Structure 1
């Protein structure tokens, strides 16, 4: 039996896309809106870039942010572990 998938129409960088996924449609729209904002932000700082270059640089920036957040998460998890260990020592 096929799983239910949402088909959501969004606009990113003035282009229309249909995104198919199992996530909540509002979540999909929100993510598409964030991508659109990132592209526009980059475009306003770096005029003259073609769409492909803007998309690649946006992807690099988003992945950079993701890696930083993952590193911060690991650091915080380690800190929590240490605090729990200290708490259990007392």
Structure 2
């Protein structure tokens, strides 16, 4: 609704609002990156860099298959379930 109203108001207004939103996103991203660097410099890395990806115990096939099914449905959408059922 807001985007439609901005486009009806004018392209320049929509461009200004889009630029303002982009600037806010960049500021938030910079604050996050600076905060992360400050914490890493102050406290050091508490665990390995790949621990969030590999976990402490390694991989399990059940976890991989569960993640793959969620990823496929997230990418293709829930309407793909009917297509997959036909195949």
TM-score when normalising by structure 1: 0.42
Q: Which of 1 and 2 has greater Rg?
A: 2
Highest RCO, 1 vs 2 (Cα 8 Å, sep ≥ 6): 1
TM-score when normalising by structure 2: 0.44
Which one has a larger percent strand, Structure 1 or Structure 2? 1
